[in-house]
């Protein structure tokens, strides 16, 4: 979104007011959040939409992007309100302590207590992008999700500072790593607490247990539903997809083999819903049963026009043959994944 009149939003004012403190901490905010900023297109013939400082990346002042001055990398800054989310920082830091390569919890690079705001901390994390953007190209790239990628510019053709064209690769060529993020509504339970019953908290209100918000339920069964509902996006159009994914990305015609598992994960009766360990085992068995050529197969979205399919299918297999000639496997080796 571009701000044509050059005025900051209410959410951006928080970033401007804390800009110099964050710079002292080693993080530089966008030029439009600098205290002395004036729109770069003022007094010129430039279109504001073509200027970097017309872009607003803030959804709210809870989230900002910044440049790490020590490395030159783009990072994400998130403001945590401890009174509203008392367990978020504790759980986030606990989860990232694990050195297990299977750990897919977003790293917390640094904690910055806000000096003029009690009970507020800014955490520094890698700058990620949505797990479903860009669209999946191969079956293998889609099946890698259940097992948020390093930063790539949100404008696929330009660098972060609009200084030139950006390089980007397909998932098969440069496999990303997907992360679980946002533990604001999470709770940590001890082994002695199990089995546990608790209230439902979460943004996905399609979970059957949320019908009665006053009733207690198994939170682990709710988590299985949440993940299964996100994976519904892989199923053909007509199966209710995750409500947070825009319609153009819902429904894929190539992942029918996942439907029995996904439907077991979103079983309305929590007592009959599959357990997470069984879901992991079943998914591994499904993936291991897919041939290399199946894994290299093209992902066709339900929103794709039927006229375009043969052309895109031909282009896909030309690209696939080039990858085979270069010795790039259908499923990237674990050593190729970012850490």
DSSP 218: -
- The answer to whether 261 and 209 have CB atoms below 8 angstroms apart is no
Distance of alpha carbon 2 from the chain centroid: 23
Q: Please say if the pLDDT value at position 225 is more than 60.
A: yes
Higher pLDDT, 338 or 310: 310
In this prediction, residue 156 has a pLDDT band, given cuts at 50, 70 and 90, of very low
Residues 6 or more apart whose CB falls under 8 angstroms from that of 309 comprise 300
- The answer to whether 158 and 166 have CB atoms below 8 angstroms apart is yes
CATH assignment of 139-336? 1.10.510
Mean pLDDT of 199-209: 81
State pTM to two decimals.
0.79
Domain spans, the chain: 10-126, 139-336
Instruction: Report whether CATH 3.30.200.20 matches the domain 10-126.
Output: yes
Mean pLDDT of 254-268: 91
- The answer to whether 92 and 107 have CB atoms below 8 angstroms apart is no
Q: What confidence tens digit (pLDDT) does each residue in 15-24 have?
A: 999 999 999 9
pLDDT value at residue 245: 57
pLDDT value at residue 4: 52
Q: Please say if the pLDDT value at position 285 is more than 70.
A: yes
The length of the chain in residues reads 339
Q: Please say if the pLDDT value at position 69 is more than 80.
A: yes
Mean pLDDT of 237-241: 53
Mean pLDDT of 300-329: 87
β partners of residue 111: 123
Q: Is the four-CA dihedral 307, 308, 312, 315 of positive or negative sign?
A: positive
Q: Please say if the pLDDT value at position 123 is more than 50.
A: yes
Q: What angle do CA 163, 165, 167 make, to 5 degrees?
A: 125
Distance (Å, whole) CA 182 – CA 265 = 21
In this prediction, residue 155 has a pLDDT band, given cuts at 50, 70 and 90, of very low
Q: Is 122 left (phi over 0), alpha (psi -120 to 50) or beta?
A: beta
β partners of residue 63: 78
pLDDT value at residue 163: 55
**Domains 10-126 and 139-336 belong to one CATH topology:** no
Residues 6 or more apart whose CB falls under 8 angstroms from that of 214 comprise 199
Distance between terminal CA atoms of the chain? 32
Mean pLDDT of 64-75: 94
Mean pLDDT of 235-254: 61
Alpha-carbon Rg of the chain, whole angstroms? 22
Mean pLDDT of 93-115: 88
């Amino acid at each position: 979104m571009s701000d044509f009149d050059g005025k900051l939003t209410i959410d951006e004012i928080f970033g401007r007011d804390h800009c110099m403190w964050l710079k002292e901490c080693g993080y530089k905010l966008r030029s439009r959040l600098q205290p002395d900023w004036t729109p770069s297109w003022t007094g010129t013939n430039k279109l504001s939409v073509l200027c970097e400082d017309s872009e607003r990346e803030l959804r709210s002042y809870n989230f900002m992007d910044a440049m790490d001055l020590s490395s030159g990398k783009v990072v994400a800054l998130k403001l945590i309100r401890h009174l509203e989310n008392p367990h978020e920082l504790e759980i986030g830091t606990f989860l990232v302590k694990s050195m297990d390569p299977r750990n897919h919890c977003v790293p917390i690079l640094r904690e910055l207590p806000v000096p003029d705001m009690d009970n507020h901390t800014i955490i520094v994390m890698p700058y990620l992008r949505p797990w479903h953007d860009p669209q999946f190209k191969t079956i293998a790239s889609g099946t890698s999700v259940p097992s948020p990628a390093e930063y790539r510019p949100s404008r696929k053709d330009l660098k972060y500072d609009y200084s030139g064209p950006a390089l980007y690769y397909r998932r098969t060529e440069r496999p990303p790593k997907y992360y679980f993020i946002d533990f604001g509504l999470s709770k940590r339970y001890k082994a002695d607490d199990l089995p546990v019953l608790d209230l439902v908290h979460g943004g996905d209100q399609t979970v059957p247990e949320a019908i009665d918000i006053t009733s207690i339920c198994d939170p682990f069964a709710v988590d299985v539903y949440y993940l299964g509902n996100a994976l519904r996006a892989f199923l053909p159009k007509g199966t209710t997809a995750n409500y947070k994914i825009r319609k153009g990305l819902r429904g894929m015609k190539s992942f029918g083999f996942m439907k029995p598992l996904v439907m077991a994960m979103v079983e309305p009766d929590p007592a009959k819903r599959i357990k997470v360990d069984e879901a992991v085992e079943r998914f591994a068995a499904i993936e291991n049963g897919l041939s290399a050529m199946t894994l290299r197969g093209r992902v066709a979205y339900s929103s794709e026009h039927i006229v375009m399919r043969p052309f895109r299918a031909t282009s896909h297999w030309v690209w696939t043959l080039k990858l085979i000639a270069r010795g790039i496997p259908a499923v990237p080796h674990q050593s190729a994944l970012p850490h």
